[in-house]
């Protein structure tokens, strides 16, 4: 599936004189972009001198693509990085798990300007076998127009960076110019005529006093859903048997709807004098995602339409549900199913009896839930770094972050509530909070050696907010075989809700010795 139409427009805002200056600056930038900070704690070195395999991707590599999701953009230029569409995969549809070298998403350390990026609130499940149980960062919260380059260390680096870097490291370097501006507009569509994508993004560099910069970026995009479905066999059989209420296709297989995808990013730097610099970056983002789910067959879906695999329809006795005594007070008939067709006479008797109930009264053609959520993300990082007269380099920083996913599921039921069930549920939300403080030091006793040491304190909190009561309630028809909670994605009950936290303290020592021009030795603890 490829997009058949892509439009990319760029506008450079500058005076003719500044344009000439920028032309020289761009030539210089091409040289600087080969300088990397990932994979070494020595002062910046070129990618060819790095002791580890590092890919350097420029912002221009992203601009030339008719995509907006950063995970897709990176996938298209880094062969060892993979992310795919996750239709009908619960929360993995909302925050897609990405992996480097085929390992779990949280086995790749993600940095922005060399500082740890926080985790997303979603713990992957049903994403794929590799991702199950993992909790990695959400790359889709970063606008590609804010990036100067991306450094991808595609090898294990846990000895240097910790267990988060078993698969490797990705360092997203933000633009840091103090002048110039650009605007991008993108439109894309798949060859099948769906999945329309609209995006507008901008970046501007501003002076921050006489010795600093403020580089600001934004992106707004929307993406229509795609449909690569073929009719399910069971749904086709129902239609062939005369059930005209079954949709065609009964189940949508494709990308979700993404609306109001807003991303803001800012990067600030200020020279304080005496070889000291203040730096900070921050972001805000939010979006709405609405995806598909599996079809609920009106004859066979257990706990909703049937209790015996489709031999008979599940019929609720509302009088028994009211008094709590299962004695068949209402005298509801048994509705047998033959060749995908329920006994119409018995079904009509149930429909006309206010004390009997079957979900075929509400959904004669079955139903297909829609699942999604509102995603919001925020982070701020600030610090001061410098170099003392004796050559000791130091960097002290602090960060705080929050990522939240507020779930919904609609066009479904809490079967145990019978005819009183709502069809829209708020199952609750996940929220991830992180705070960190870092202190890093390094010095080079000789031109060939470098020593570094430091410490980090990090606090992580994971919160589950309780959903609306109907999403987890055990209703009066539960004792008659009707399933409880919102069907497809049960809500978080008062027992499940709450907040859990953990604290991490880490120390490290790192050394490098360039023994010859061809040999670099390094060790880290």
User: pLDDT digit string (tens) for 63-104?
Assistant: 888 788 899 999 999 988 988 888 888 888 898 888 898 888
Question: pLDDT confidence of 160, banded at 50, 70, 90?
Answer: confident
pLDDT at 383: 98
Strands 81-82 and 99-100: antiparallel
> Hey, what are 237's tokens?
């059989």
3-state per-residue secondary structure call for 129-156: CCCCCCCCCCHHHCCHHHEEEEEEECCC
Residue 3: φ, ψ to 5°: -75, 135
Residue 85 burial (CB count, 10 A): 17
Instruction: Mention every residue, 6+ apart, whose C-beta is less than 8 A from residue 129.
Output: none
For the segment 38-42, the average pLDDT, to the nearest whole number, is 71
Closest CA to 42 of 335, 440, 504, 436: 440
Question: pLDDT confidence of 429, banded at 50, 70, 90?
Answer: very high
Q: Whose structure tokens read 């693509």?
A: 65
Q: Whose structure tokens read 């060399």?
A: 114
pLDDT at 255: 93
For the segment 165-181, the average pLDDT, to the nearest whole number, is 94
pLDDT at 129: 67
Question: pLDDT confidence of 3, banded at 50, 70, 90?
Answer: very low
Average pLDDT, the chain: 89
- Going edge to edge, which strands form the sheet with 449-466? 3-12, 181-190, 197-207, 212-223, 257-273, 276-291, 370-387, 393-410, 424-443, 449-466, 498-516, 519-524
Closest CA to 299 of 338, 351, 252: 338
How far apart are alpha carbons 278 and 397 in whole angstroms? 10
E strand intervals along 224-275: 257-273
Calculate what percentage of the chain has a pLDDT beyond 90. 72
Question: pLDDT confidence of 35, banded at 50, 70, 90?
Answer: low
Strands 370-387 and 393-410: antiparallel
For residue 11, is pLDDT > 50? no
Do 75 and 96 touch, CB atoms closer than 8 A? no
pLDDT at 159: 78
For residue 15, is pLDDT > 50? no
DSSP, collapsed to helix, strand or coil, labels residue 26 as: helix
Q: Is the dihedral of CA 494, 497, 498, 501 positive or negative?
A: positive
Q: Encode 472-500: b = buried (16+ Cβ within 10 Å), e = exposed.
A: bbebbbbebbbbbbbbbbbbbbeeebeee
- DSSP output for 287-318: EEEEE----B-TTT-BTTTBSSSSSBB--EEH
pLDDT at 79: 87
pLDDT at 126: 59
Residues comprising the chain, all counted: 525
Element (H, E) at 172: strand 168-174
More confident residue, 524 or 347: 347
- DSSP output for 442-490: EE-SSTTEEEEEEEEEEEEEEEEEE--GGGT---TTGGGTPPPSSTTSP
Calculate what percentage of the chain has a pLDDT beyond 70. 90
For residue 17, is pLDDT > 80? no
How far apart are alpha carbons 347 and 354 in whole angstroms? 13
How far apart are alpha carbons 291 and 411 in whole angstroms? 12
pLDDT at 88: 87
More confident residue, 42 or 451: 451
Residue 443: φ, ψ to 5°: -155, 160
How far apart are alpha carbons 313 and 344 in whole angstroms? 11
Closest CA to 83 of 92, 95, 96, 94: 96
CA angle, 384 then 385 then 389, to 5°? 135
For residue 20, is pLDDT > 70? no
pLDDT tens readout for residues 457-467:
999 999 999 99
Element (H, E) at 22: helix 16-32
Do 270 and 303 touch, CB atoms closer than 8 A? no
For residue 7, is pLDDT > 50? no
> Hey, what are 391's tokens?
């050559």
For the segment 258-278, the average pLDDT, to the nearest whole number, is 97
Closest CA to 248 of 217, 278, 227: 227
Do 45 and 35 touch, CB atoms closer than 8 A? yes
pLDDT at 36: 64
pLDDT at 224: 96
DSSP, collapsed to helix, strand or coil, labels residue 211 as: coil
Closest CA to 453 of 380, 372, 525: 525
**How far is the first Cα of the chain from the last one, in angstroms, to the nearest whole number?**
46
pLDDT at 47: 63
Instruction: Mention every residue, 6+ apart, whose C-beta is less than 8 A from residue 23.
Output: none
How far apart are alpha carbons 307 and 150 in whole angstroms? 54
Residue 355 burial (CB count, 10 A): 16
Strands 168-174 and 108-112: parallel
């Amino acid at each position: 599936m490829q997009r058949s139409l892509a439009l990319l427009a760029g506008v450079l805002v500058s005076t003719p004189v500044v344009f000439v200056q920028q032309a020289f600056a761009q030539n210089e930038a091409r040289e600087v972009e080969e300088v990397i900070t990932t994979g070494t704690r020595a002062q910046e070195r070129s990618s060819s001198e790095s002791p580890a395999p590092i890919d350097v991707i420029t912002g221009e590599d992203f601009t030339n693509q008719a995509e907006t999701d950063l995970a897709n953009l990176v996938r298209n230029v880094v062969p060892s990085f993979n992310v795919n569409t996750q239709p009908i995969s619960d929360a993995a549809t909302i925050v897609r798990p990405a992996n480097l070298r085929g390992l779990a998403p949280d086995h790749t350390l993600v940095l922005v300007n060399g500082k740890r990026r926080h985790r997303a609130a979603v713990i992957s499940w049903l994403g794929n076998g590799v991702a199950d149980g993992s909790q990695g960062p959400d790359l889709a919260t970063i606008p590609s127009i804010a990036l100067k380059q991306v450094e991808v260390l595609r090898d294990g680096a846990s000895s240097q960076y910790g267990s988060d870097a078993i698969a490797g490291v990705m360092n997203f370097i933000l633009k840091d110019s103090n002048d110039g501006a650009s605007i991008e507009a993108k439109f894309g569509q798949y060859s099948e005529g769906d999945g329309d994508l609209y995006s507008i993004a901008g970046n501007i560099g501003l002076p921050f006093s006489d010795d600093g910069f403020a580089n600001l970026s934004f992106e707004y995009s929307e993406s229509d859903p795609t449909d690569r479905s073929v009719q399910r066999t069971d749904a086709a059989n129902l239609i062939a048997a005369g059930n005209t209420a079954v949709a065609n296709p009964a189940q949508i297989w494709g990308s979700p709807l993404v609306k109001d995808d807003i991303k803001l990013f800012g990067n600030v730097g200020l020279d304080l004098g005496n070889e000291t610099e203040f730096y900070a970056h921050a972001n805000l983002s939010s979006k709405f995602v609405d995806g598909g789910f599996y079809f609920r067959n009106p004859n066979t879906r257990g706990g909703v339409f049937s209790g015996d695999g489709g031999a008979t329809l599940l019929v609720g006795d509302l009088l028994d549900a009211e008094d709590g005594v299962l004695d068949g007070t209402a005298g509801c008939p048994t509705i047998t199913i033959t060749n995908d067709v329920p006994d119409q006479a018995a079904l009509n008797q149930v429909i006309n009896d206010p004390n009997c109930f079957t979900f075929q009264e509400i959904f004669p053609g079955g139903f297909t839930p829609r699942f999604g959520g509102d995603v919001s993300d925020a982070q701020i990082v600030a610090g001061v770094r410098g170099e003392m007269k004796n050559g000791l380099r130091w960097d002290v920083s602090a960060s705080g972050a929050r990522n939240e996913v507020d779930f919904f599921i609609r066009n479904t039921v809490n079967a145990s509530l019978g005819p009183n069930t709502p069809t829209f549920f708020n199952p609750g939300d996940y929220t991830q909070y992180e705070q960190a403080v870092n202190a890093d030091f390094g010095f080079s006793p000789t031109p060939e050696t470098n020593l570094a040491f430091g410490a980090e304190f990090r606090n992580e909190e994971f919160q589950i907010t309780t959903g609306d009561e109907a999403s987890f309630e055990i209703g009066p028809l539960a004792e008659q075989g009707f399933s409880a909670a919102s069907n497809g994605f049960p809500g978080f009950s008062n027992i499940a809700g709450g907040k859990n936290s953990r604290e991490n303290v880490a120390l490290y020592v790192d050394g490098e010795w360039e023994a010859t021009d061809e040999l670099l030795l390094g060790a880290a603890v």
